[in-house]
Amino acid sequence: MKITDIKTYLMQVGPRPGVPAKDGSFRGSRNWLFLKVETDEGVTGIGECSGWPRVIERAVEDLATILKGEDPRDIDRLWQRMYVATMGHGMTGTVGGGALTGIEMALWDIKGKVLGQPVWNLLGGKFRDTIPCYGHAKSTKRARELMDRGYSAVKVGFTGAVDLDLVAAIRDEIGPDADLMVDAHGPSWMTAADAILVGRELEQLDLLFYEDPVAPENLDALQRVRDAVNVPLAAGERVSTIYGIRPYIERDLVDVIQPDTGRAGGITQMRKMAAMAESHYITLAPHSGSLGPVAEFAALHVMATVPNALMLERVEFDWEGRAEVVSPALSSTNGALRVPDAPGLGVELVEEEIAKYPSQRNVTDMPETDGAYEPGTVGECVYFQSRLRRGTRLRLKRTGD
């Protein structure tokens, strides 16, 4: 069996530029990139790439030139060949990681189809038949909707300052038995000092984890937060390969690693990350905040086969077309997804639906309001800021009740 071609399928997700954006639409900048590895025996494999999909498409086309004529079943060797081929361009970031991931994912899909086995069975079998998920809420109403759908875990995310009183209100809404998480990602990122103050306030809300409290480049700042705050920490969605996740694990900076299933480097890399984390008693909760539906299938196969899987991020209701671009579509039951049993990944592209949404833009401009920045500074579009009005903004109003 030989690889004959790699085809890409790039699409826009959500509102088009100039159309008012809905919650979760990334202000009209979101793209999904799927691919299909074709072989001379008619077996095809499906994959998905994230990180910067519109740019990654060109990386996939470049890598295809060295893969044609190769046996797709030699997954690890071909991954190494691609990795070495990209090193002349510098350290492998999310663009390179995304390209490697989508192609490697498709190779696993091919192997499973050839052998008539789901990918999880090729990885050593299952620990579990279903994978618990958590949803996103920016209001108590949304949190209640998730609870009513059977979810038992909710994450509230912020660009800019963390609204501690909103987090507390959501905790009150979902009750003490549900899990609550806070994502403090930028823009603009907090300084370590501010992240520590916020983290100390969050201690009383019994979080499952406090995610990305500081910018991902600054691991020393993450260490400062780790040493000062008694809340489990999570990070890692922006790194690729075991080399990128290594310092988070070896320095014990986090309790949860969150590799992105579309740009971590591939299924094998994800399992290696999980094994590294396992040796430090760290759990795995893959990032899925910007992904399309194919990478979700890959995440289920990986999480079924590792002992330290925590739960999967799920943006299930982000865009009404999600269930139309693949077959079958995933659907959660009581806040969990069933691990597929079909050969390979268990999913195929619906190409005619994908073609309806051509890519138009894949970068997010500065936020439309001052909400992500200190008042009056949105035009500066800075990467990080100290929070002002600290006495009211970095503390729960109900402290001391």
Active site residues: 185, 287
Rounded Cα gap, residues 50 and 55, in angstroms: 10
Give the phi and the psi of residue 59 in degrees, each rounded to 5: -65, -40
What token pair was written down for 344? 């390979």
Query: What pairs with residue 45 in β-bridges?
Result: 37
Helix (H) or strand (E) holding 335: none
What angle (nearest 5°) sits at the alpha carbon of residue 107, between those of residues 308 and 354?
95
CB 297 within 8 A of CB 322: no
Strand pairing category for 31-39 and 44-49 = antiparallel
**CB-CB contact of 31 with 362 (8 Å):** yes
DSSP 3-state percent helix, strand, coil across the chain (nearest 5): 40, 20, 45
Question: Between β-strands 31-39 and 179-183, what pairing exists: parallel, antiparallel or unpaired?
Answer: unpaired
d(CA 285, CA 260): 9
User: Which amino acid, one-letter code, is at 310?
Assistant: L
Task: Return d(Cα 299, Cα 288) in angstroms, integer.
Answer: 9
For the chain, the residue count is: 401
Tell me the backbone φ, ψ of residue 153, rounded to 5 degrees: -150, 135
- Cis upstream peptide for 328 (omega within 30°): yes
Spatial contact of 353 and 160, defined as CB atoms under 8 Å apart: no
* Residue listed under structure tokens 């590792």: 306
Please state, in angstroms and rounded to a whole number, the distance separating the CA atoms of residues 115 and 325.
26
Instruction: Give the type of residue at 216.
Output: P
